Amino acid sequence: MSVKRTIHRGETSQKLLAGNLPRIRFVRLFSALLAAVCLPAESGENYIPALEKIFSIQERVADIHRALATPYPVAVVADKTFFVYAPVAGEKTFGLAATAPDPYHTQTGMRAAMPLAFWENRAACVVTPEIFAEEDGYVFILHEFVHCYQWENGELALKEKLRLFRQAMEKQDYMWELQHPFPYDNATVARTYRDWCRALELGDAKKAEALRSFLKKGLNSLDWEYMAWEEWKEGLARFLENRARERLRLPLNLPSADASFDRVSFYRGGDLFIAFLLKREPALADDWAKLFGRILYSGG
C-alpha cells in the first residue's frame, strides 16, 4: 500500500519538546529520573491484555528483520506513573515489573525508547495509553522496539566513533540528538536534501550520488555526522516501520508535500537511503555497523 499520509510521530515529538517534555532517545535521563526511587510493582495490570497483542503483530512481521521479532519491555505512562511491563520468558504475555513516578508530567502522545535509570538502565519502549486504540499504534511500538534493538546491539560503540558525540559528552550535552544546531534554515541545504530524496524515490542513482556529494561539500564535519547518525538511527526505525506497514496493509509513514525541513526529514531520508543501499548490498540488512559506515562515508 502506497497511500501517503503524514503521521504524527515526529510532529508530536516536536510539540512535546515545545511543551518542555524531554523526548529522550537513549541518552542519559535528567537528574529527576536518575533520582527516582523504584516503587513496588502494583496496579496497572489492566494494560496487559493490550500489550499481549504485540505478539500477534510480531508474528506477522517477524521475517522482515529480527528487530521486529524481538519483544522488549514497554513502559506505559499514566496517572503520573511509569508502569513498566516486561515480556515473560517462554510465554506470550507481559508482567508488571516495576513502577516509578513520572518526573516529566508526560503528555498524551509520548512515543519514545530509552534506558530507564530506575530500572537498571534497561531499554524500554515508552508510550501513553491511547496508543493501544490507534489503528497503527502497534506499528509505532515496533518502531520503538527497533531503537531498543539498536541500543542492545552496538549503538553506543557507533556513537563513540563520532567526534560530535564525544564533544557532546565532554560538554555533558545529553540532548544533542534532538538539539544539534543543524543548518535547517539554509535554503541550499534544504533544497539539496529534498532533491536527493526525490532522486532516491525515482531510483536515479547517478543523480542521487551527485547530490549526496554536493550536500557533503556544503556541510561541516559535525553537521554531516549528525545527519548521517539520524539517517541511520531514525532512518532504520522508519524503514522497518514502513516495511511492517506494508505487510499489515497500513498507510506508509511518509511526509506531507509541504513538510518543513527539520530533524524529522532525516527519518524519510534514512528510510530511502537504506532501501537504496540494501538493493546494492543485501547483506547490510544484518550488519548495521557496516550500514552506518556506508551512510557516514557516502558522498565521496
pLDDT one-digit tens code per residue, 177-202: 999 999 999 999 999 999 999 999 99
Q: What is the pLDDT of residue 43?
A: 52
Give per-residue pLDDT as tens, 109-167. 999 999 898 999 899 999 999 999 999 999 999 999 999 999 999 999 999 999 999 99
Q: Among 118-122, 173-177, 269-273, name the one with the lowest average pLDDT.
A: 118-122
State phi, psi for 266 to the nearest 5 degrees. Answer: -75, -20
Element (H, E) at 245: helix 221-248
Q: Where are the beta strands (DSSP E) in 178-292?
A: none
The 3-state DSSP class for residue 15 equals: helix
Residue 272 CA: distances (Å) to CA of 51, 177, 187, 226, 279: 30, 20, 21, 17, 11
Best CA proximity match to 289, nearest among 160, 113, 153: 153
Task: For residues 68 and 251, give the distance between their C-alpha atoms in angstroms, rounded to a whole number.
Answer: 18
Q: What is the pLDDT of residue 46?
A: 86
Task: For residues 181 and 177, give the distance between their C-alpha atoms in angstroms, rounded to a whole number.
Answer: 10
Q: How many CA atoms lie within 13 A of 290 on its CB side?
A: 9
Average pLDDT value over all residues in the chain: 88
Place of cell 508488571: 96
User: At residue 13, what is the residue type?
Assistant: S
Q: What is the pLDDT of residue 83?
A: 96
Best CA proximity match to 289, nearest among 229, 219, 224, 242: 229
Give per-residue pLDDT as tens, 31-77. 333 334 444 444 555 899 999 999 999 999 999 999 999 999 999 99
Q: What is the pLDDT of residue 105?
A: 84
Q: What is the pLDDT of residue 18?
A: 33
User: Confidence class of residue 14 from pLDDT cuts 50, 70 and 90?
Assistant: very low
Residue 62 CA: distances (Å) to CA of 125, 136, 219: 18, 17, 38
